[in-house]
Structure 1
Amino acid sequence: MNVDELVALDMHTHAEVSRDGHASLSPDLLGASAEYFKAQGHRQPSVTEMAGYYRHRKMAAVVFTVDAEHATGHPRIANEEVAESCAEHADVLIPFASVDPWKGRSGAREARRLVEEYGVRGFKFHPSVQGFAPNDTMAYPLYEAIEELGVPALFHTGQTGIGAGVPGGGGIRLKHSNPMLVDDVAVDFPEMRIILAHPSFPWQDEALAVATHKPFVYIDLSGWSPKYFPPQLVQYANTLLKDKVLFGSDYPVITPDRWLSDFDKLEIKPEVRPKILKDNAVRLLGLAGNK
């Protein structure tokens, strides 16, 4: 990957379908997400199609699925498949993995194997969908492995479109995605790089507080069009958090084309814009100097 040739690095994209057509979540949950994002009928691109999409735009992307087998009963897409597919397109794709924290020490062993044997560069958690509080010590063996491996952990925070409008929200509890729960993780694992995904509605101020207080906590801007960003998020991105805010789209439900078009209209300082679009992610992922 030649990072100098990239115009942006998207830190938040989803592998929604496997090679054999298996979806990452149940039809009810995926359908609710598509309706929430006004993305009904959107295609679920393969990882290979995603590579072509980003290569054409001279961008790179972090790709992951969500392992929520314990809470949903839905079989995951294999992390190995995502990693292997990304490796085939290493000029533009960066594999993250998702390990259900309910798997305990076996999940920790899997995390080590995925990094050491498959080149995985980070891990995605979705506490609401996976049905756990981030500060539940049940997840700590997995965090210990991630901290030792020196790769980031990305946590969904705030509202989620998954399950929205389904009776009972499809069993998904929003409270698990309060960023203050991740603050405990940042205390107990002080060397682990943590990314708070999304503008964290209704807990935006909490996310800003955690990211300014904990030196290795970052925020990605995925899941919302920038025209809807709350003013305090824009203010902090321009100032105190200018080195810790990351571009993310949430592709395929939000495309980088739409996101970047709206971001162009946002009042972001010229010297901060490249940090958000690429430079902060390059530093976080240790990609500087990659050719």
Structure 2
Amino acid sequence: MRFTLLFILTAILFGCNSKKEKQTGLEKIEAYKGPIIDMHIHADIERDLPPISLGLCPPFSTLIENFDPQNKFEDVWNEKFAHPQCENPLMSPKSYNEYLTGVETQLKNHNIVAVASGSITNILEWKSKFPKQIIPSLEFRINRDSITPNQMKLLIEENGIMVIGEISNQYGGIAPNDPRMFPYYEVAEEMDIPVAIHLGSGIPGTPYMGYPDYEAKLSNPLLLEDVLKKFPKLRVSVMHYGEPFIDEMITMLYHYPQLYIDIGGIQWAYPKNYFYEYHLKKLILAGFGKRIMFGSDMIIWPELIAHSVDIINETPFLSYEQKADIFYNNASRFLRLEGNTN
């Protein structure tokens, strides 16, 4: 009798604990369903799309697991997209209309307003097609774009530009603290326009894929220190959060509390568990959950938006409130939009 009673009590206690653990687990993986600000998509137009449908098998880091340099990297890379080797690849649309429909569907299905980056031509076309769903952001790179600071100011004023970015100087071997950028930062600070600066990995093999001047060392967030000292009122978002320089990024977030980051593309560029454990968790544990912003880095595959949303929603260690901050509240504060989900 005593053994039976002990067994029953043990079973009840174990059952209660198991139920509590299960409930705790459910709370941890509760999906965020509110509005989303995607800080990082690319506004491509018809001429930017490939002539054939290409398949993407995330993550990028394992797409080419090994490479013999006797081959041409670009050929090996392109073969992976022409003939994807995973079960369910993301396929790029076969036409521009299909692409636009895919983008619109993703934005509506996930209740997203997106910061869309591109040339002035691309931005104006997207503004006409998605007037309520995009925040126009002017892409810029020294030596590629022949825009003077005064011309940039006019473009912002005349076209309702709300962000300057993606500033992609790294692809040209130009550091974020290059003095040639200072007049443009001055325009942004004067006009109170935030800037979004690419600091982080490009695609694997970037120097062999049309960007011979690209330098990985220019991803180091410490290179922003001169900029933030010289322009203390400048709002800066570090795209790709300066990956892989996580400790340096944390140092900069600690010393410069006006600095924000977006996770665009890196959540699907590496295996999900690696991103969780060594990137996102470290930033959260360091105390910077209020300055991490969602970004999908959507390019020619609209479904990358849903894929990116799922990765954050499936994060095992984020609370619902932390997800709300990443998906919406932090970007709303950074962009100075009205309202939040809290």
Same fold (TM over 0.5): yes
Correspondence for 1:274: 324
Is residue 2:255 matched to residue 1:228? no
Render the CA deviation track for 1:258-280: whole Å, top value 9, x for unaligned: 12222223211232210111111
SS at match of 1:257: helix
The code of the aligned residue for 1:242 comes to G
TM-score (norm 1): 0.79
Distance 1:9 1:142, change over 3 A: same
Correspondence for 1:91: 132
Correspondence for 2:261: 219
Alignment of 1:160-179 (within 5 A): 160-161=202-203, 163-164=205-206, 166=208, 170-179=212-221
Distance 1:238 1:274, change over 3 A: farther
Render the CA deviation track for 1:27-75: whole Å, top value 9, x for unaligned: 9xx99xx99475825427656752343123221111113xxxxxxxxxx
Distance 1:64 1:240, change over 3 A: same
- For 1:161 and 1:283, locate their aligned partners in 2 and report how far apart those are by CA, in whole Å: 30
Correspondence for 1:70: none
The code of the aligned residue for 2:326 comes to I
Render the CA deviation track for 1:118-147: whole Å, top value 9, x for unaligned: 111111112321331111111111110011
Correspondence for 1:195: 237
Structure 2 gaps of 5+ residues are: 1-32, 64-79, 83-90
Correspondence for 2:193: 151
Count of paired positions: 268
Structure 1 gaps of 5+ residues are: 66-77
| Cα pair 1:83 1:120 within 8 Å, conserved | no
Q: Over alpha carbons, which structure has the higher Rg?
A: 2
Is residue 2:298 matched to residue 1:251? yes
Identity percentage over the alignment? 26
- For 2:100 and 2:189, locate their aligned partners in 1 and report how far apart those are by CA, in whole Å: 27
The code of the aligned residue for 1:272 comes to Q
| Cα pair 2:313 2:323 within 8 Å, conserved | no
- For 2:335 and 2:252, locate their aligned partners in 1 and report how far apart those are by CA, in whole Å: 20
Is residue 2:64 matched to residue 1:18? no
- TM-aligned CA deviation for residue 219 of structure 1: 0.9
Distance 1:167 1:147, change over 3 A: closer
- For 1:35 and 1:236, locate their aligned partners in 2 and report how far apart those are by CA, in whole Å: 21
The code of the aligned residue for 1:132 comes to I
Distance 1:103 1:221, change over 3 A: closer
SS at match of 2:229: helix
- TM-aligned CA deviation for residue 243 of structure 1: 1.6
TM-score (norm 2): 0.68
The code of the aligned residue for 2:219 comes to S
The code of the aligned residue for 1:281 comes to A
| Cα pair 1:238 1:268 within 8 Å, conserved | no
| Cα pair 2:140 2:164 within 8 Å, conserved | yes
How large is the RMSD of aligned CA atoms in angstroms?
3.4
Render the CA deviation track for 1:1-43: whole Å, top value 9, x for unaligned: xxxx95211111112x334x146xx99xx99xx9947582542
